[in-house]
Amino acid sequence: MAPARPAAQRWSPARCQFTLIAVTALIDRQLSADEEFEALALGARALTMHELSLETTQGWMQELIAIRTNQAAIWEHARKATRDFPSDPSMRRAIYAHCADMAFADRQEKKSERRLLDFIAKDLRLSRADRQKIDAVMALKNRH
Amino acid sequence: MAAPPAAAAPQRDKFDAVILDRHPRERQCFRGLTLGDAMFGLKNALALFVGAPAPDLGLLGRGKEWCVLALLYAAARSDADTLAPEEEVTLAALAMRTPTLFKLSPELYNTYLADYRELLRGRNSVSALVEAACASLPRQDGLAEAIFAQCADMVMADREVVSLEDEFLRDLASELRLSGSKTREIMQVMRWKNELREAG
């Protein structure tokens, strides 16, 4: 993982979380209404994000939508988000679980989404055991 | 869609505005309808415009969709008589995306919710709805586990699990005949998932 940037340049935890979830939704270059609703619904209920205004999360979403066909730019956002992500292991596990769930939000997990999940798990240093448990339950949850 | 709790309405209106703004095809089709209507597709939404009658549950029976939505609804209502805004949003998000429910028409969605409310009228727990749904739930591979995971996620949507919700999940696992190890595995991951908080 790259060294952390100066505090003034770092993204807030909320922005890191929202970005990772939104990038997971956008990585296949399409944003379905299901995925966008899921991302915004999460923004409304996650403890870190629920006090943000919808305008704020919408602004972040707009920024990502504007670059959705530019894979290099999308991946750069993902890298920034993991680089600035809080070091708290439980928050890292939580965001991975949300992204894994998001990858199934349109009822199919694509290769690009799997690659992104691999990257997030590795960059956030998730243990293999935790990741396997999360993947298994999210696959099970989204089966029916 | 039936009137939501007052606190939830502004939030849902905001979501409606965002989703419809971002998806112009839907905006054109669904203008004037709520998110609950918009999420089910053009064909079904148009049926609302022309005044399609509410489906008759007596004719339709209580199939898989009825059972799955019933359990999600019961999870959302397990701690109170009304839904928290987060729970309403999560219920709508789940109904929009799960393989079992995403093709459910808005008329049927509304009819089912009305049926659940009627079934729970005058009762102080959701156990009657859980029992009715579990009794009619088809025996399909992985279905009980999927529903339990969705319900656990729903219960944790408002960021805390009160004792009533904890009791609900224990009873649900029992009604769905889940093994203790599978229940613990699902609960553990759903707790992890809902642990997002301010930076520590």
Alpha helices in chain B (DSSP H): 8-22, 24-30, 35-38, 42-49, 57-60, 64-76, 85-97, 106-120, 127-136, 143-155, 163-175, 180-193
pLDDT at residue B60 in the model = 57
B200/A93 Cβ within 8 A: no
Residues B83 and A6: their CA atoms lie apart, in Å, by: 42
- Which of B39, B146, B198 lies at the smallest CB-CB distance from A47? B198
Nearest-Cα distance to chain B for A72, in Å, is 23
Q: What's the predicted TM-score (pTM) here?
A: 0.77
Burial of B51 by CB count in 10 Å (0-12 exposed, 13-18 middle, 19+ buried)?
exposed
- Which of A48, A54, A133 lies at the smallest CB-CB distance from B196? A48
In this prediction, what percent of chain B has a pLDDT beyond 90? 34
Q: Which residue has the higher pLDDT, A93 or A108?
A: A93
B86/A50 Cβ within 8 A: yes
A33/B149 Cβ within 8 A: no
Which ipTM value was assigned to this complex?
Answer: 0.85
Contact A36, A42 (CB under 8 A): no
Contact B29, B45 (CB under 8 A): yes
Least confident span in B77-81, B119-123, B195-199 = B195-199
Span A105-120, pLDDT tens digits: 666 778 899 999 999 9
Partners of B192 on chain A (C-beta within 8 Å) are 90, 93-94, 97, 130, 134
Contact B130, B74 (CB under 8 A): yes
Least confident span in A75-79, A84-88, B89-93 = B89-93
Partners of B147 on chain A (C-beta within 8 Å) are 144
Contact B92, A34 (CB under 8 A): no
Confidence band (pLDDT; 50, 70, 90) for B62? confident
Mutate to test the interface with A, among B67, B97, B159 (most CBs of A within 10 A): B97
Q: Which residue has the higher pLDDT, B5 or A130?
A: A130
Of A123, A131, A32, give the one whose Cα is nearest residue A76. Answer: A123
What is the amino acid identity at position B170? R
